[in-house]
Every structure is written in structure tokens, then in C-alpha cells.
Amino acid sequence: MERLENQIVQLLQNKDIRPTQQRIEIMKYLMEHRVHPTADMIYTALKKNMPTFSKTTVYNTLKLLQEKGALAALATVEDQVRYDSNLVPHGHFKCTQCGTLYDLEIPEGFPKQTTIDGHRVFEYQILAKGLCRHCHMQELS
């Protein structure tokens, strides 16, 4: 899609990021694969079509995109950092069985306050853990 690539170029430029080929590809991958990939997933996928593509570039780029506010990094306990191009506030649900990381609506009634105990809060991350729909159904059968 020409469309998406143009959007990405815009987005990067708006955030003062020079839109190089590699950066566009990484951003595009994240926007098209909303399963919160790890750096390694991105590398492995893109390497196929870009033979000289390097892991260093993935790490460099992810770091830059985070700093400039184009991406969010997600904390999960068990494994590596995961990345999310969806900047609309939302939570995550991690299935402890299959490892899938789902998006979650921010639960109704969640406070929007920006100060708690005197601390200034800029960002919330909500991580729920449990058994996902699919694994749960399998367990019953």
C-alpha cells in the first residue's frame, strides 16, 4: 500500500525522524502486525526482504522511535520487551499458556488522574494475566 507508507513518512517527519527505508519498514511492520512483536521478530521478518538488514538497526530504530514518541515499549515479566505502535491508551492481556498478548480496553472507571501520592503520572500500563479465550476453551474439551 502506497497509502500506508506515505502516512508513515508523514508521521516520522512530524516527529523529527528522518524517514529512511529501514525506519519505514520497521514502523510499517509494527502497524501491520499488531501482536506486539519483539525486536527479534521484527528483525527476522524484515531480514528476508532486506539481506543486509541488521539487528543493530532494529534496536537503534526502536530506541529512537520510542524517544520521539512514535512507539511505546511494553513490559512483560517473562520475556523480552515488546513494541506497540498503538499510542491510544489501552491495556494488555497476556495469556500465560500460549503467550499471546492481546489488547484490552482500558477498563471503565479507571482513573484519569495525573497525580497520585504526590507523584506526577505521565503514563499508565495495565497488564492483566490469565488464560485466554482460546486456551480456556481447549482446556474444557
Partner DNA sequence: ATCATTGCAAACACTTTGCATACGC
Partner DNA sequence: GCGTATGCAAAGTGTTTGCAATGAT
Q: Which residues contact 99 (CB under 8 A, 6 or more apart)?
A: 78, 79
Q: Which of 57, 70, 72, 92 binds DNA (CB under 7 A)?
A: 57
Cα 25 to Cα 31, 86, 110: the distances in Å are 10, 16, 35
Cα 97 to Cα 32, 81, 101, 106, 113: the distances in Å are 25, 18, 11, 23, 34
Min dist. Cβ of residue 84 to a copy of itself (A): 11
Min dist. Cβ of residue 34 to DNA (A): 19
C-alpha cell read off for 11: 508521521
Query: Which of 59, 124 has the CB closer to DNA?
Result: 59
Do 43 and 2 touch, CB atoms closer than 8 A? no
Q: Which of 15, 50, 121, 138 binds a copy of itself (CB under 8 A)?
A: 121
40 binds DNA (CB under 7 A): yes
67 binds DNA (CB under 7 A): no
31 binds a copy of itself (CB under 8 A): no
16 binds a copy of itself (CB under 8 A): no
Query: Which of 13, 96 has the CB closer to a copy of itself?
Result: 96
Residues in the chain: 141
Q: Which residues pair with 102 in a beta bridge?
A: 93
The conformational region for residue 90 under phi > 0 = left, psi -120 to 50 = alpha, else beta, is beta
Q: Which residues bind DNA (CB under 7 A)?
A: 17-18, 20-23, 38-40, 50, 52-57, 59-61, 63, 79-81
Q: Which residues bind a copy of itself (CB under 8 A)?
A: 73-77, 81, 93, 95-96, 102, 104-105, 107-111, 113-114, 116-133, 136
